[in-house]
Amino acid sequence: MGVSKRLRYEILSRDGFTCRYCGAKAPDATLVVDHVTPKALGGTDEPTNLVTACRDCNTGKSSVSPSAATVADVDQDAIEWASRVRDVLAQMRVNRTAAHNEVAEFGSWWRTFGEPIGMDDVLPWDYGDSIRGFLARGLTMADLKWFAEDVMLNPKVHRSGVWRYFCGVCWRTLDEAISKAKDAQ
């Protein structure tokens, strides 16, 4: 079985889309994934035995065993790459947990604030997507609560339109911030 498309991409990405033998880069060179120790000589499909190569270097190498320095270099790069991927995954978990907690905080606040005025049940089931999006674009939890409070207490906004109006206020605020940032350039 050959190297999967996913693994092929991971190797190309790990090596910076650069031939490890001659330094050629895409789009100037056609890149492939090469076995450092060829399969014909007992090499495996493990990432530590795979390297980015341009088609010319890969074709010229054939079933010749590489130097020990090349193999050691690839092993070290693979270890560093795996460490970077683990670090990024750990940060992604932290970010997901934080986002989950912020959505839960907003939902709890909305229901508590909205209950006495009959607005606690107008929060849609997928509200978390919007809240995560607004926070990711720079609004703060305080901004969101402020806007929601204004909308829920606005007698001109019908109960059925409260969430939609709230989202509109958030988007208009973001648009205004972007416009002012462009003007300040």
Q: What domain count does the chain have?
A: 2
Domain co-membership, 52 together with 123: no
Separation between Cα atoms, residue 158 and residue 126, nearest integer Å:
20
Residue 47 falls inside a structural domain: yes
The Cα 175–Cα 47 span in angstroms is 45
Residue 90 included in any domain: no
Residue 26 lies in a domain: yes
Which carries the bigger pLDDT value, residue 61 or residue 169? 169
| Mean local confidence (pLDDT), 76-105 | 85
Tell me, yes or no, whether 122 and 170 share the same domain.
yes
Q: Residue 126: which pLDDT band, with cuts at 50, 70 and 90?
A: very high
Q: 133 in a domain, yes or no?
A: yes
User: Is residue 35 in a domain?
Assistant: yes
Do 112 and 60 have their domain in common? Answer: no
Residues 111 and 57 in one domain: no
Q: Is the pLDDT of residue 101 over 80?
A: yes
Nearest 5°: phi and psi at 12? -60, -45
Q: Using the predicted structure, report yes or no on whether residue 47 has a pLDDT greater than 80.
A: yes
Per-residue pLDDT for 184 more than 80?
A: yes
Same domain for 121 and 174, yes or no, is yes
% of the chain residues with pLDDT over 90? 50
3-state secondary structure of 126: coil
Do residues 134 and 178 share a domain? yes
Domain assignment of residue 40, given as a range: 5-66
Q: Look at residue 12 and tell me if it is in a domain.
A: yes
CATH number at residue 53: 1.10.30.50
Whether residue 45 is found in the same domain as residue 110:
no
Residue spans of alpha helices (H) in the chain = 5-14, 55-61, 68-114, 127-136, 141-153, 162-183
Does any domain span residue 32?
A: yes
pLDDT band at 36 (very low <50, low <70, confident <90, very high): confident
Has residue 87 been placed in a domain?
Answer: no
Q: What distance lies between CA 142 and its chain's CA centroid? A: 26
